[in-house]
Structure 1
Amino acid sequence: MNTKLLGSALIISGTALGAGMLAIPMVLAQFGLVLGTLLMAFIWFGTTYSALLLLEATIKSGGGLGLNSIARASLGKGGQLVTNGLLYALLICLLMAYILGAADLLSQGAAALGLSLSFTQSQILFTLVAGAIVACGTGVIDKLNRALFLIMIASLLLTLFALLPEFSAQNLAQVSNNDHFELIKTSAVLFTSFGFMVVIPSLVSYNNDATDKQLRNMVIIGSLIPLFCYLCWLFAVVGNLPPEQLKQFSSVSELMAGFEHEAPWIGTVLSLFTGLALLTSFFGVAMSLFHQNSDTFKQNRLVTYVLTFVFPLVGAILAADQFLSVLAYAGIILVFLAVFVPLAMVYKLRWADTLSDRYSAEGGNSMMLFGLVFGGFLLMSQMV
């Protein structure tokens, strides 16, 4: 795998490693590590398969910067309209969640430096600066993301080693909630935590000289990294904080404050890690929305910049203190966009025998049936 493909895999990982890193301990710890780990692995498997379906649809429909062109080529005008509506709702919800989380950290960091930044000012400052980087193009995001990802992983490893002396095996065995229906309800948040699929069309276009197998490996490697990081983080957090305390957290800063008794500098390192995780996720999702707007409206960079960031920023300002709620809403939208839409695209393309010699997601009709059941499970998890 060349550096460009590796960088693209890291964009996939960075897109997933964001809000989920903060939400997963808060929603899973109360159910115990065994059931939490099994559910997370199941969600990862279904999500990765759905991503491979989208990769197949992207390749066979001729690629393109955004889902707009892919949906038009595979599903026609009606499917294009539905896909665009779902995509805009999803990306705006995700960007709202990332802006809320990043602004929380930014305002906390500014206060530590003796600066006064209101929550709203932090939201505006973060969106304007990070959005300007996105507008510079995929190549810039790729190179910057590689550096940020290395720092992020280093800070995570440092945190894990620092928390190791206080690690309690007794905490790992604790289960404070035996309600399996409540556990299933967390599926939408977990699914959103692996919500990297939106970047696939942009990365296929960016790696236009790569083989189908290389693109497939890019997706799989990119999805495995966040799974590993999520599991390590869940074990570390649960091993150091009791489930009853984790249930009470509702924001990024509260989770950080929970570790202040361990060592004075751990909060700083965790803030760095979570800040970078949110930033890399923001880059991936914002890149997808920027390319979608460019593909749909075909305007210059300045107009596309405004179209991309004004609605998420306004939404984040209006939805203060709703971090987990926004993630849950995004999870419901993501089920339709990231599971059912790729299934419909691939079904139409395979039925028409379009470019049958190109990549097809493994498993044939049996796995497509699994994808349908997986999407149904995610929808039912919100209706239990």
Structure 2
Amino acid sequence: MNLKLFGSSLIVAGTALGAGMLAIPMVLAQFGLLWGTIFMLFIWAGTTYAALLLLEASCKVGGGASMNAIARETLGKGGQFVTNGLMYALLVCLLMAYIIGAGDLVQKVLSAVGFELSNSTSQIGFTVLVGILVSAGTGAVDKLNRVLFTGMILSLIFTLFALTPNVSFDGLADVVNKDKVELIKTSSVLFTSFGFMVVIPSLVTYNKQASKTQLRNMIVVGSTIPLVCYLLWLFAVVGNLSAQQLVQFANVSELISVLSQQYRGLEFILSLFTGLALLTSFLGVAMALYDQNSDLLKANKPAVYVTTFILPLLGALFAAEHFLAILGYAGFILVFLAVFVPISMTLKVRREPVVDNGVYQAGGGTMGVSMIFLFGCFLLYAQVV
């Protein structure tokens, strides 16, 4: 087994598999398990193929540690400027969210053992320490992510084992909401749940010696892991709680609270999963932004470190109330960055003569690119409908 490729797949999965998965049953259960599953498979297929287009563009330009490098080679200065703008807007917003969530989690954990810290101190400490690990390089992130991801999956397995024996098949077919327009509106939640494409350039550079088949499998396996986890979690929760109950929950905390009342110790396990999911997502997103800054600034590590983490940290410390409004646009930004930008890059590199037949190219040809363009239009429609 190639541990670098396996670890890279886990980085893809860990970046996608965030704490937001806990909310998926509340979003999809009202439409019934069948429609929820079909729609999730549709979103997964679209995002995975778009990621393979980005993989093709990255490979054909000789690899690139960041979206900036690939955009520079394929889209020119104008496209590079637009891509960088979208990339920074998305990554800074996401890192702000993760720092806010992690600071709150660190504060609660330390408070439970009798060590009190302010929320701002917790946020600063988390960002500084994890930022140092990110600056150590993709290899260090890979090794740490393997440990964290293992713990996250074990906590999920434990939860599923606790829930599955009491699954009631009677509730799996319940449909509370038959409005398919409302189902389409859930696209943004599901799409961001597979938002891993930002790490692809870094992983292509990290796996320079890998074959095109290995790189393709790295992406497909990495995207399939969260798909399986989402579907198992959806099945287990819908089998234990009715769709009518799930629709009434205002947030994930209420869901965890109800499940914890039925199953002793589950609150700790789900909290552990949430913390690990947040950390693995932070590592993937921070790695992408760090490599982006490293390629763009051509500066030493301390300078890249500061430019990567100072803005998200300041945003988390001083602008959290405004950030919540900004976060609503993150899914909109991601559609352009994860679908339309890779399409543009791929069309550009396919116009160039093929020099090396061993370089990866996504299947589907013009039809595949056309279908993924329509997929992107569908996601935009779902954002504004």
**Interval containing the TM-score (normalised by the shorter chain):** over 0.9
**Helix, strand or coil for the counterpart of 1:177?**
coil
Which letter maps to 2:369?
M
Q: Assess if the C-alpha contact under 8 Å between 1:241 and 1:258 holds in 2.
A: no
> Gaps spanning 5+ residues in structure 1: where?
none
Identity of aligned residues (%): 61
Q: Assess if the C-alpha contact under 8 Å between 1:19 and 1:98 holds in 2.
A: no
**Helix, strand or coil for the counterpart of 2:170?**
helix
Cα deviation code 1:66-114 (max 9, x no counterpart): 1111101011111100000011111112222323333343344334334
Q: Assess if the C-alpha contact under 8 Å between 1:163 and 1:240 holds in 2.
A: yes
Q: CA deviation at 1:123?
A: 2.9
Q: Assess if the C-alpha contact under 8 Å between 1:60 and 1:355 holds in 2.
A: no
CA–CA separation in structure 1 for the residues paired with 2:113 and 2:174: 38
Written as runs of structure 1 = structure 2, the 5 A alignment for 1:154-193 is 154-193=154-193
Which letter maps to 1:148?
L
**Helix, strand or coil for the counterpart of 1:259?**
helix
CA–CA separation in structure 2 for the residues paired with 1:8 and 1:287: 12
Instruction: Give the direction of change, closer, same or farther, for the CA distance of 1:355–1:95 in structure 2 (3 Å limit).
Output: farther
**RMSD of equivalent CA atoms:** 2.1
Written as runs of structure 1 = structure 2, the 5 A alignment for 1:69-80 is 69-80=69-80
Cα deviation code 1:175-200 (max 9, x no counterpart): 33332212111111211110111101
Instruction: Give the direction of change, closer, same or farther, for the CA distance of 1:112–1:227 in structure 2 (3 Å limit).
Output: same
Written as runs of structure 1 = structure 2, the 5 A alignment for 1:47-196 is 47-196=47-196
Which letter maps to 1:229?
C
Q: Assess if the C-alpha contact under 8 Å between 2:51 and 2:338 holds in 1.
A: yes
Q: Which residue of 2 aligns with 1:362?
A: 363
Q: Assess if the C-alpha contact under 8 Å between 1:23 and 1:189 holds in 2.
A: no
Instruction: Give the direction of change, closer, same or farther, for the CA distance of 1:112–1:264 in structure 2 (3 Å limit).
Output: farther
Written as runs of structure 1 = structure 2, the 5 A alignment for 1:290-329 is 290-317=290-317, 318-319=319-320, 328-329=328-329
> Gaps spanning 5+ residues in structure 2: where?
none
Q: CA deviation at 1:356?
A: 6.3
What is the number of equivalent residue pairs in this alignment?
Answer: 383
CA–CA separation in structure 2 for the residues paired with 1:133 and 1:89: 23
List 4+ stretches of structure 1 deviating above 6 A: none
Q: Assess if the C-alpha contact under 8 Å between 2:14 and 2:280 holds in 1.
A: yes
Q: Assess if the C-alpha contact under 8 Å between 1:94 and 1:326 holds in 2.
A: no
| 1:276 corresponds to 2:304 | no
| Deviates further, 78-87 or 303-312 | 303-312
Instruction: Give the direction of change, closer, same or farther, for the CA distance of 1:320–1:153 in structure 2 (3 Å limit).
Output: farther
| Deviates further, 310-319 or 298-307 | 310-319
Q: Which residue of 2 aligns with 1:371?
A: 372
Q: Assess if the C-alpha contact under 8 Å between 1:93 and 1:329 holds in 2.
A: no
Which letter maps to 2:300?
N
Cα deviation code 1:159-213 (max 9, x no counterpart): 1111224433333233333322121111112111101111010001001111111
CA–CA separation in structure 2 for the residues paired with 1:371 and 1:364: 11
Instruction: Give the direction of change, closer, same or farther, for the CA distance of 1:247–1:381 in structure 2 (3 Å limit).
Output: same
Instruction: Give the direction of change, closer, same or farther, for the CA distance of 1:79–1:126 in structure 2 (3 Å limit).
Output: same
Q: CA deviation at 1:54?
A: 0.2
Which letter maps to 1:374?
F
CA–CA separation in structure 2 for the residues paired with 1:267 and 1:13: 23
CA–CA separation in structure 2 for the residues paired with 1:280 and 1:313: 18
Q: Which residue of 2 aligns with 1:334?
A: 334
Q: CA deviation at 1:245?
A: 4.2
Q: Assess if the C-alpha contact under 8 Å between 2:19 and 2:273 holds in 1.
A: no
CA–CA separation in structure 2 for the residues paired with 1:125 and 1:34: 44
CA–CA separation in structure 2 for the residues paired with 1:264 and 1:163: 11
Q: Assess if the C-alpha contact under 8 Å between 1:72 and 1:79 holds in 2.
A: yes
Q: Assess if the C-alpha contact under 8 Å between 2:19 and 2:278 holds in 1.
A: yes
Q: Assess if the C-alpha contact under 8 Å between 2:293 and 2:307 holds in 1.
A: yes
CA–CA separation in structure 1 for the residues paired with 2:94 and 2:372: 23
Q: Assess if the C-alpha contact under 8 Å between 1:19 and 1:97 holds in 2.
A: no
Q: Which residue of 2 aligns with 1:8?
A: 8
Taking structure 2 as the reference length, what is the TM-score of the superposition?
0.93
| Deviates further, 61-70 or 14-23 | 14-23
Which letter maps to 1:367?
G
Which letter maps to 2:348?
K
CA–CA separation in structure 1 for the residues paired with 2:204 and 2:106: 33
Q: CA deviation at 1:253?
A: 3.8
Q: Assess if the C-alpha contact under 8 Å between 1:32 and 1:174 holds in 2.
A: yes
**Helix, strand or coil for the counterpart of 1:258?**
helix
CA–CA separation in structure 1 for the residues paired with 2:41 and 2:143: 30
Q: CA deviation at 1:353?
A: 2.7
